C-alpha cells in the first residue's frame, strides 16, 4: 500500500512537473521522432529555411483552430464550430471593412465570443448533444459564407488593406506565427493560472463531484464554450492573414478534421477531464510535421490527402481510446 505513496512531497515542483510534462505527453516523443526521420530521409528539402517557415505557418493555422475547442473537450463535450467562426468571421470582416476600417478585424473575436455564448446556452439549457449542435452551427455559418460570396459577385472575400500584417518584423518568424502567439498565451494562462482550467477538468472528470464541491457547473460550461469561440475568433486573425487577408469560402471537411486531429494527437481524451491547450499545441505540431514531411517524400500523391488524414485521425482516436475505458459511449 505504502509503495504507492510517494515520499518527498513537493521538493522541486518545477523539475517534477517538467518530468511529468515529458512523461505524460507522448506527443513530445512523436515530434522528436518525426524530426529525426524526415531530416534523415529528405534533409535538404525538410530542413530548408523555406520549409521550416512553412511548418511554422501551418502550425499557427492548425493550432489556432484547435486550441480554443480544447477547453470544451476538457468538459467531455466537443465544439466543432471553429470552422464556421473562422469562415463567417472573415466574411463579416470583409462586409464591415467599409464601415469600420482597420478596426473591423476585431469583429473576429467578438463574433467568436457570441457564437460560443449561443452554443453554450443552447447546449446547457436545451440539452442538445454538443457535437451535433456545433456541427450544425459550422455548417450554417459555412454555407452563409459561401452565400455571401455568391451574392456579392466576387471570387474571394479579400481585404487588401491588411497587407501590412503580412510583413513580419522578425526574420524567419512568419507573421501568422507571431499573430498566433497572443491566443497561445491567453489559453495557457487560462488553463494553468486561473481556476477555469481546474474547474473544467473537474467537470469533465466527475460532474456530480464538481457540483458537490460547490461549482456552478452550468455557468462554467457556458464559459468554456465562450472562451472556445473567443480564442478561435482571435486565432482566426492569424489564419486570415496566412491565407492572404481572406477567408475560406467553401466548406471542406478535411479542414474540420485538422482541428480535431490536433486535439486528439496531443492527448486530450474525448472523454474530458485531462489534457489542455498545451497538449493541443504539441498535437498541432505533430499533425503539421506529419503532413509536411509526408509530401516531401518521393512517391506520395497529394491527391490521396484525405485518405491519409482519415487514417491519421482513426489511428489517433484508437490510441487515445484507452482513456475512455468504462465510460458509456453512444
By CB under 8 A, which span of 36-44, 155-163, 168-176, 253-261 interacts with another protein? 253-261
Site for another protein in 303-322 (CB under 8 A): 303-311, 313-314, 317-318, 321
Interface characters, 266-305, with another protein (x: CB under 8 A): ----x-xxx----------------------------xxx
User: Toward another protein, which CB reaches closer, 101 or 306?
Assistant: 306
Residue 246, SS3 per DSSP: strand
Site for another protein in 208-227 (CB under 8 A): 208-210, 212-215
User: Toward another protein, which CB reaches closer, 128 or 243?
Assistant: 128
Among the listed residues 126, 167, 169, 170, the single contact to another protein using CB under 8 A? 126
Contact in structure between 191 and 197 (CB atoms under 8 Å): yes
Residue 241, SS3 per DSSP: helix
By CB under 8 A, which span of 98-106, 135-143, 277-285, 290-298 interacts with another protein? 135-143
Using CA atoms, how far apart are residues 130 and 133, in angstroms rounded to an integer?
A: 5
- Name which of 192, 227, 187, 219 is nearest 203 in CA terms: 219
Site for another protein in 174-203 (CB under 8 A): 189, 193-195, 198-199, 201-202
Residues in the chain: 330
Among the listed residues 206, 219, 244, 295, the single contact to another protein using CB under 8 A? 206
Site for another protein in 91-110 (CB under 8 A): none
Using CA atoms, how far apart are residues 241 and 90, in angstroms rounded to an integer?
A: 10
Cα distances (Å, whole numbers) of residue 49 to 27, 166, 173: 24, 18, 10
Helical segments of the chain, H only = 13-24, 26-41, 43-46, 49-74, 82-100, 107-125, 130-152, 175-193, 195-205, 207-212, 217-242, 253-266, 277-294, 305-320
By CB under 8 A, which span of 49-57, 76-84, 103-111, 166-174 interacts with another protein? 76-84
Amino acid at each position: 500500500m505504502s509503495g504507492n505513496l510517494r515520499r518527498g512531497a513537493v521538493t522541486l515542483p518545477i523539475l517534477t512537473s517538467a518530468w511529468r510534462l515529458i512523461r505524460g505527453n507522448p506527443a513530445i516523443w512523436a515530434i522528436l521522432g518525426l524530426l529525426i526521420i524526415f531530416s534523415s530521409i529528405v534533409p535538404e528539402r525538410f530542413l530548408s529555411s523555406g520549409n521550416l517557415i512553412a511548418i511554422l505557418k501551418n502550425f499557427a493555422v492548425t493550432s489556432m483552430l484547435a486550441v480554443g475547442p480544447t477547453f470544451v473537450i476538457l468538459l467531455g463535450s466537443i465544439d466543432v464550430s471553429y470552422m464556421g467562426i473562422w469562415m463567417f468571421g472573415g466574411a463579416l470582416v470583409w462586409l464591415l471593412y467599409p464601415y469600420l476600417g482597420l478596426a473591423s478585424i476585431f469583429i473576429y473575436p467578438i463574433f467568436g465570443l457570441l457564437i460560443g455564448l449561443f452554443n453554450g446556452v443552447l447546449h446547457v439549457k436545451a440539452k442538445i448533444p454538443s457535437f451535433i449542435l456545433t456541427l450544425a452551427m459550422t455548417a450554417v455559418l459555412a454555407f452563409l459564407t459561401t452565400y455571401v460570396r455568391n451574392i456579392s459577385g466576387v471570387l474571394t472575400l479579400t481585404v487588401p488593406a491588411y497587407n501590412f500584417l503580412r510583413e513580419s518584423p522578425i526574420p524567419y518568424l512568419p507573421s501568422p506565427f507571431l499573430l498566433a502567439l497572443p491566443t497561445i498565451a491567453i489559453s495557457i494562462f487560462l488553463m494553468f493560472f486561473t481556476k477555469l482550467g481546474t474547474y473544467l477538468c473537474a467537470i469533465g472528470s466527475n460532474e456530480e463531484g464538481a457540483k458537490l464541491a460547490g461549482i456552478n457547473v452550468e455557468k462554467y460550461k457556458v464559459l468554456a464554450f465562450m472562451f472556445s469561440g473567443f480564442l478561435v475568433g482571435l486565432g482566426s486573425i492569424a489564419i486570415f492573414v496566412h491565407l492572404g487577408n481572406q477567408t475560406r469560402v467553401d466548406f471542406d471537411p478535411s479542414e474540420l478534421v485538422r482541428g480535431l486531429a490536433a486535439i486528439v494527437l496531443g492527448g486530450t481524451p474525448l472523454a474530458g477531464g485531462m489534457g489542455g491547450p498545451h497538449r493541443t499545441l504539441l498535437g498541432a505540431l505533430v499533425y503539421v510535421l506529419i503532413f509536411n514531411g509526408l509530401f516531401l517524400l518521393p512517391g506520395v500523391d497529394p491527391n490521396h490527402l484525405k485518405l491519409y488524414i482519415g487514417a491519421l485521425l482513426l489511428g489517433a482516436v484508437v490510441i487515445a481510446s484507452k482513456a475512455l475505458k468504462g465510460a458509456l459511449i453512444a
